[in-house]
Each structure stands twice: as structure tokens, then as C-alpha cells.
Amino acid sequence: MRNDAWGEGNLRPRLMTISGLLAQCLNSLQYGLLLFLISSGLTLIFGVLGVINLAHGSLYMIGAYATFVVVRATGSLWIALPVAMLGGILLGGLLERYLFRHFYKREHLDQVLLTFALILLFEESRSLLVGNDFYSVPIPTALDFSIPIVEGFSYAAYRFVVIGVCLVLAAALFVWIERTKMGAIIRAAAEKPEMVDALGIDPRRVHMTVFAVGTALALTAGALNAPLSSVYPNMGDGLLIISFVVVVIGGLGSISGAFWSALLIGTIDTMGKAYAPKLSGLAIYLLMAIVLLWRPTGLFGQRT
């Protein structure tokens, strides 16, 4: 059947091969995992702090620019990655301690205005410090090669590294949330914050930890993806929107929901762009609308 979205001009024969499909599968996985790093922080912060952080995409942007700056100065992505991670923890801790903490009991509109103001603040600072040009970050020379997968098809080694690092971080996040005392306190605080207080647990420590970890994950995502996407103004905006879709489909506040949802959205978006470019922009939002109507608590976030 002929579908206009598959218009002849967009039919790229190379994609229609097995190796083309394989490449898109790996791209889907890599993009999905990256989305998870961003949306897990977003959903965790919403679940525990009750704040929808519109500046979460800007944190991703900061991670990417920090990586660009560090790589330019030191020539090493392996220095930039931990800098982004630790810098994220520090930045997140400070933001929570001196800004967000004062907004938990405020109106939603105040919170929206705060986080929107942060976007402007972060982008203006970026413009002042680094300018508005596009920059690329080189892939480390040791990884600047392709790994042959099947006859006639190979895949960039650095993309495998991104997949690997994301998987390690996702596993660490799961173990932390599901298997440690702090993780149990975080889940408890997302469910019944008042009861956590009544047990004598200092909620400020919990909030700060969650915000710091969420921020670090966003910066790390920006750092990992910088060599693949290059860095440019407002680069986090699109990812923020799509991360919201991930969070909604995964179920607000659910980490495991965000994981499966990120892989699903990553796949739909990647495959859509490759095989049905005219439809792809619409597909994920359509999916979100259907999920919101049909299962408002999300597809995966079934906890209680």
C-alpha cells in the first residue's frame, strides 16, 4: 500500500537492507538509553520533590558544553566525563539547597516560572561564556573506528561505549534505588513524605540527594552525547520535551517505567526518522495522548 509519508523522495534504499535495519536498532538502543539518563532524573525529581523541572534540558546542555570546554583544554573526554558527573552533583546540590528548597510549598505556577527562568539564565550564561557558535567535540582517537558486525556492516565504537556507559549507569541507579537504605528512603518519600518526616528522617538530605543525582545524570548524558551531536545553543530543548513524553508514558515518578518507556520512545523516534520521516514527529505525541487517555498512570509505572 502506498502511504504518502513514505514519499518516494524519502525512500532511502540503504535503509531497506538488513544491515541498515541493524544500524537503526543499535541507534534506537543508544538513543533510548540516553533518553533514560535524562528522564530518570526528571521523573525522580518529580516523584520525590513534586517539582517539574523545565530546566532539566538545560542541565543536559551544560553537560555538553562543559565537555566541550574540558576537551578543548585537556584534549581528553575521559577527564570531561567525570568532571560532568561530579560537577552535576555539585550543581544539583547547590540548586536544591539555595533555590528549589524554597519552592516545594509554593504554587505550581511559581515552580514553572522558577525553572523557566533557570533556562534563560543558563542559556544566557552559556552565551556569555562560550558564545553562540556550533562546536564539535572530537571522538577520542582510541575509539575513532568502527567495529564490523556482519558482512558489509560496521558500527562506530564510540556508540558502543555510550551504550555500555549508559547501561552501567542505569544498573547502578537501579541498585541504588531498589537495594540500598537511601534508595528505600527515596521511594518512601515519593509515596508518603509526611510519614518519612514522622520517622525522624531529615527530608532535606533526601531532597538534596535526589536533585544532585538527577542533575548529574542529565549532565552526564550531555557529556556522553557531545561527540555524537556536537554542541549548540538550546540543544536540550527538544530532549526536554521528548523526556516529558518518556516520563508520562513510563508513569510519573517510576524509574523502571522510565527505562522501558525511554527504550520504546527511542525506538519509535529513531525508526520513525529513518523509515517514515513525515510521520515520526507526530508518532510519539500521538502515543502519549493515547496513553494519557487510556492509562493516565502510564504504561509501565504500576507500583501500588
Partner 1 sequence: MSAPLLAADNLHTYYGESHILRGISLTLAAGETVGLMGRNGMGKTTLIRTMLGLVKPRSGRVTIDGADVTGSDPFRIAQRGIAYVPEGRGIFATLRTMENLTIAERPGLDGSRQWTVDRILDLFPRLRERQHNMGHQLSGGEQQMLAIGRALLTNPRVLILDEATEGLAPLIRDEIWRTIRLVRDAGIATLVVDKTVSEVTAVADRVVVLVKGELVFAGTPAALLANQLLMQRTLGV
Site of interaction with partner 1 (CB under 8 A)? 181, 184-185, 187-188, 190-192, 194-203, 303-304
What does the block give as the cell for 188?
A: 518512601
CB of 303 to partner 1, least distance (A): 5
Write b or e for each residue in 200-231: b if 16 or more Cβ atoms lie within 10 A of its Cβ, otherwise e. Answer: eeebeebbbbbbbbbbbbbbbbbbbbbbbeeb
Cβ atoms < 10 Å from Cβ of 279 = 15
CB of 257 to partner 1, least distance (A): 13
CB of 259 to partner 1, least distance (A): 16
Q: Which is nearer to partner 1, 12 or 106 (CB)?
A: 106
CB of 62 to partner 1, least distance (A): 32
Q: Which is nearer to partner 1, 129 or 198 (CB)?
A: 198
Helix spans in the chain (H): 18-49, 56-74, 77-98, 108-130, 157-179, 181-191, 193-198, 203-229, 237-250, 255-275, 277-294
Q: Which is nearer to partner 1, 191 or 237 (CB)?
A: 191
Contacts of 99 (CB under 8 A, 6+ apart): 114, 118
CB of 83 to partner 1, least distance (A): 33
Q: Which is nearer to partner 1, 155 or 259 (CB)?
A: 259
Q: Which is nearer to partner 1, 144 or 202 (CB)?
A: 202
**Residue 55 to residue 124: CA distance in whole angstroms:** 13
DSSP state of 284: H
